[in-house]
Copies of this chain bind each other. A is one copy, B any other.
Amino acid sequence: MLRDDITTAIRGAVMHELAAVGYGRLSIEAVARRAGVSKTAIYRRWRSKLELVLAVVSKVAVQRLPLPDTGTLRGDLEMLFMIMSHALRHPLASQIIPDLLAEAARNPEIAQTLQSALQANQHTIGVLLIERAVERGELPEGADPGALMDLIVGPLYWRIAIARTPLDAADLPRMAAAVAAALGVASEPHRPVDSGPAPIDTTTGSGSNRS
């Protein structure tokens, strides 16, 4: 029986090492050093660096985010943003996630693992949040969660993980409101592009308004 405490130490070391040097430069030796463990201990548990990282990351990524129903799309978004920004603020997460996502562009196995993890959360978010909004009448039916996902997670992810501009908690409601508006527009059934320079209805404009 493999000792749990050592397994745990390895897991932690992988996370820290991943954050410190990234997947590309992650070395088994460094993980072993940081964990205060021998390389053999690691090779006994996982066959390769890829397997090790995938296992550790999967274990962490599976943790679902709770997403309470606030009663409104905007409220749900605000809540989601708070949770996301909290999660992405973790120094480990904010370094590991972009790194692995970049690595996923090269390594199909990593891509698939992340895709699965992402898909899980996507369902938490997509199915829950969006379908809730549809049921409330805040979004029209037939809204495609996949297409809306970009609008939901894109801005916050960019802000925190890419631009890394400090994000005041007070900014989240504003962002939530903006995204809610975007979702309204994006999920409208196809409408002809009002060509030309006519002033635009920046709000959801035509149909599909609630209340």
Task: Report B-chain residues with C-beta under 8 Å of the C-beta of A53.
Answer: none
Judged by a CB distance under 8 angstroms, whether A56 is at the interface is no
Contact A183 B154, beta carbon cutoff 8 Å: no
A70 contacts partner chain B, Cβ-Cβ < 8 Å: yes
One complex includes copies of this chain to the number of 2
- Give the size range of A's interface with the partner: 35 or more
Report chain B residues within 8 Å CB of A199.
71-72, 136-138, 210-211
Residues of B within 8 A of A25 (CB): 24-25
Q: Which residue of B lies closest to A111 (CB)?
A: B164
Among A4-12, A59-67, A174-182, the one that faces the other chain is A174-182
- Tell me whether A203 and B174 are in contact (CB under 8 A): no
Q: Are B201 and A202 in contact (CB under 8 A)?
A: no
Question: Is A46 an interface residue, CB under 8 A from the partner?
Answer: no
Scoring A residues 171 to 211 as 1 if CB is less than 8 Å from chain B, else 0, what string do you get? 10111011111111110001001001111111111000111
